[in-house]
Structure 1
Amino acid sequence: MPSPAPSADLASLSLDAIARLAQDKSLPPVETWHPEREGQIDIRIARDGSWYHEGDPISRPALVRLFSTILRREPDGSHVLVTPAEKLTIEVEDAPFLAVEMKLVADPGDGERAVFRLNTGEIIVAGQEHALELRGDGDKALPYLHVRGDLWALLARPVYYELMEHAIQAADHPIGITSDGVFFPLETTL
């Protein structure tokens, strides 16, 4: 069962609260489920992170959080909702998650951490297990955050601007950010 959604305001959370939320990974083992029954379901995750069923928005955040815990990306690039009993293909326009909020947290022992809240309420700390990367060329490059498996979150535009503002202010060359001891370059070649 997914953990409850964190506070709507990431800025109000302490480092300890962020660490607890980031470690609460009580997710089902979808990688181990390979049911014989397969099909499709008319669910679409739009580029802005909104979920739709049969063309209508899924308006219950708890249902979206539940579905997000059984989401998996297949080797062929498709996305599925999987349970031990069935696997249903869904449509994902870009990334299945959207990073909607960011907080930079100073950690006395480890430097700085970039903490992100996803549209599903999940908290992700960029670092060794959760890379930040730009995909694309030049000014068309888009920022993504690794969530789990082969699932990624697109950074919402305001979140990306906040991240870049920090990276540029602290920049040597190349422009980037260090989070949880890992440096992530945030510039592309033209």
Structure 2
Amino acid sequence: MADHEFETGGPDALSRLVAAAKGGRGAPPVERWNPPYCGEIDMRIAADGTWFYQGTPIGRPALVKLFASVLRKDPERFVLVTPVERVGIVVEDAPFLAVEMAVEGAGEARRLAFRTNVDDVVTVGADHPLVFARDGHGGAKPYVKVRGELWALVTRALAYDLAEMAEPRTLDGRDVFGIAAGGGFWEVMDAADAG
């Protein structure tokens, strides 16, 4: 392979990533890998969680899971990373979707777990916080941290289920709505904004 193909993430970058990612078992230690940046690859994760390569949806779930296993968020961009190269991709919102939720218990002892569209399972807590970002319509969009700096957007149906768990509290002199789970209270919004 010519050096210029490697550096630009040329047309064979996808094949190289597939081959390199298939080499190991379990979650690859992508946070420890620091290969050279080789440019952008024509890959995009749409806001609805669909992965695209060269404008075409990737229809094989196993391939999407493989790419998801080597995805990392660097300070300047999302990248697919192997021990020998790192290529940038576009992520429209969050790289993953939380598509299934399990709830046990109540209050701060409540266990709240999510399964993502790539079959990661996380339980809300200090390592996997639940955060709410404002959307363009004055509402709140929930996200759960999956790993590293990778987050999953909670689907609309599950967001409604979360909203039913919200309760009012006073935090630092402010009236807020939030969800008690995983030993903490995850603030959704100020009570004044909810009215």
TM bracket (short chain): 0.7 to 0.9
**What one-letter code is carried by the residue in structure 2 that aligns with 1:92?**
V
SS of the aligned residue for 2:83 comes to coil
**Aligned partners of 2:146 and 2:179: how far apart in 1?**
18
Select the structure with the greater relative contact order (CA < 8 A; seq sep ≥ 6).
Answer: 1
Q: Is the 8 A contact 1:133 1:186 kept in 2?
A: yes
| Cα deviations by residue, 1:42-94 (Å, 9 ceiling, x for unpaired) | 11100011101111111111111111111011112x10000001111111001
Among 87, 104, 110, the alignment partner of 1:112 is 110
**2:126 match:** 128
Provide the TM-score with structure 1 as the length reference: 0.78
**Aligned partners of 2:139 and 2:188: how far apart in 1?**
13
Shift of 1:36: 2.3
**What one-letter code is carried by the residue in structure 2 that aligns with 1:148?**
R
Computing the radius of gyration over CA atoms, which structure comes out larger, 1 or 2?
A: 2
**2:102 match:** 103
**Aligned partners of 1:136 and 1:160: how far apart in 2?**
13
**Structure 2 spans left out of the alignment, 5+ residues:** 1-20, 170-175
Tell me which moved more, 179-188 or 156-165.
Answer: 179-188
**1:156 match:** 155
Among 175, 185, 189, the alignment partner of 1:187 is 189
**What one-letter code is carried by the residue in structure 1 that aligns with 2:157?**
P
The RMSD of aligned alpha carbons is 2.2
SS of the aligned residue for 2:161 comes to helix
- Identity percentage of aligned residues: 45
Provide the TM-score with structure 2 as the length reference: 0.76
| Cα deviations by residue, 1:131-156 (Å, 9 ceiling, x for unpaired) | 11111267243211111111111111
**Aligned partners of 1:72 and 1:83: how far apart in 2?**
10
Give the ranges of 4+ consecutive aligned residues of structure 1 lying more than 6 Å apart after TM superposition.
Answer: none
SS of the aligned residue for 1:158 comes to helix
SS of the aligned residue for 1:52 comes to strand
Q: Is the 8 A contact 1:113 1:178 kept in 2?
A: no
**2:86 match:** 87
